[in-house]
Amino acid sequence: MTAANLEIRLKLNGFHNFSTLTKSKGNFIIRKGFFYEMGYSAKQMAEDLNAKFPGHIEIVKTWRKFVPFRGGDSVAKSSHFGVEFKFTE
């Protein structure tokens, strides 16, 4: 499955809570940028993803990256929550 196909599949299943989607070494990585955390976390993002695909994905890792704000940086270089996962089908 390509990253573009997965993005369509995620959105059709009602999971819109990510900024970028990439594929690396067979795993998919979603990131959600933030300026304020507002009580959200990478763990919560992983739980939301699991709720949309129960029993079909395996969470490889989650993380929170915090860096000082720099306008124009990509999501990967700025503050973000990340979830790396793979399909178990």
The domain limits of the chain are: 3-87
CB 81 within 8 A of CB 40: yes
Residue 33 near residue 80, CB atoms below 8 Å: yes
Mean pLDDT of successive 10-residue segments in the chain (89 residues)? 79 80 91 88 93 90 92 87 90
pLDDT for position 89: 67
pLDDT in the model for residue 45: 92
Reference 81, options 57, 53, 27, 45; nearest CA is: 45
> Would you state the pLDDT for residue 74?
87
